[in-house]
Structure 1
Amino acid sequence: MNKLIIGRYLPGTSLLHILDARAKLIAGFYFIFILFFAEDWPAYILLWSFTFWVMHLSGVHFKTYIRGVRPLIWLILFTVCLQVLFTAGGEIYFEWGPVTISQFGIVSGIYIFFRFVMIIFISTVITLTTKPIDLTEAIHFLLKPLRIFKIPVEEISIMLSIALRFIPNLLDETQKIMDAQKARGTEFGKGSLFQQMKTLVPIFLPLFVSSLNRAEEVANVMEVRGYQPNARRSSFRKLRWKWADTLSLVIMIFLTVGLLIMNTIV
């Protein structure tokens, strides 16, 4: 659990660290959006090259990203297996009832694996290079137009800020509970599937209680300090849009053009 780095922030002086949080959020969501328009291998090669370039610009060692994606690899592989086993098309290699292994299913599974990993990498880059408070300000700024639809933008932004802030704390708390259970003789990852599921109960119950207590403490602190969710307020931290932020969005436009060209090659 201590290897999961999504939601953590690493201080640094790289080019991505100094970019405006709004530019990183817009570019990140846009990259995830265009991922689903990749249709062939040349397009995925282009997207992987861009992903590796962005990871290099973050100034964080590549091994850190690998360690961060490792805890999620089983969830990704499970999704890929569902795609491979229940998607038919092209040449059929194996068929048994609803289970079908086909050429189209295998290729689709590989593409889905690439998409998931790239989404995790790009999301991790954003959180590693952006302070949680800056992410909150960026989300609040980008959601402002939704006020005309009576959507509580301030409440949504503060909820996201608190969630991002406490992801590392939740992971650390989980690790502490697991260490305490190991000291009491609990062995994780051994025995049958049912036995392994039973060993998770002593983790989830204390973690759930701890999360509720922490949420109550945060709510009490906010209430004592006079926080009003619907009140209009100014921001102590001002986000500043620079030429580098504009350049990052221009690069995304060039990436889109390159992706369209790659899709037409094959």
Structure 2
Amino acid sequence: MKQKLILVLFLIAIFSAMFFVSPLSPYHPQGALALEPQAQGLKRVADFYFDVATGDVRGHSAVNKFGRNDEIDTADGIEDIWDGGGTWPEPTASQVFTFTSTSALDASDGIGARTMEIFGLDSAGALQNETISLTGTVAITAINSYSMIDRMIVRTAGISATNIGTITANANTDSTVTAQINPINNQTLMTIYKIPAGFDGCMVNYFVDVNKSGGATTSVDAYLYAKPTGEVWQIKQLNGAISGGTSRYNHFFGVPNCFEPLTLIKLSANVSANDTGVSGGYDLVLHPN
């Protein structure tokens, strides 16, 4: 009997030792590590608009337009939201543009803006851009002709780090100013865009802001206009905001509002009180037509 008890205890000891040293045992050092959850790489949930913005969707690109009209009065009626104020003069044809500043200090050797990049469309409606060196109040001519200029950006400047004067794009054929950079902005603020040839432009959202520092409360009617090729300006959305309450209006399209190639788009506004500033903007996705 005593021998059987010793044998049983001996077998228990052997099995216990095997359990603790087995790699499959949770008490074994390697076994314990094996049971730890493995580190997982971060996975980003697919987001179409993010992928477009980062260039990960072939053939697609994102456009963000924004602008401001510093002062609209009741007598002005509907004005476009851009740096020049009033009604934006649509170019009549592809043409050469010259560029000037109201300050001689905006020049390649001045303390103001020195170089500026121009963005727009060529005579066929294709995207193009170039960078010029400014020459102050003396006109400098762009190398390319443009059927549309929708953005200008100051790229380099002197010690002021900004443009000192108002920089304008002056059309040679019809003498209109179709884009301008107001002092210290370093960039155009224009809610005006023309869809490039070969692409549809799908609007995801747009916004309008009322900016009024004092005086009477003002209400604003905001208009989203589009002008397809060969047609007239058409209202695509009409909304309102008020400076004393809802001073910002955002519209998100449940289904993006798509426009055909070479369609012009702009935001406009009228107001119920003088000296009202209005800002606006929108996001587009360009995809091959």
TM-score range, shorter chain: under 0.3
Q: Which has the higher contact order (CA 8 A, sep 6+)?
A: 1
Task: Provide TM-score, normalisation by structure 1.
Answer: 0.27
Higher helix share: 1
Task: Provide TM-score, normalisation by structure 2.
Answer: 0.25
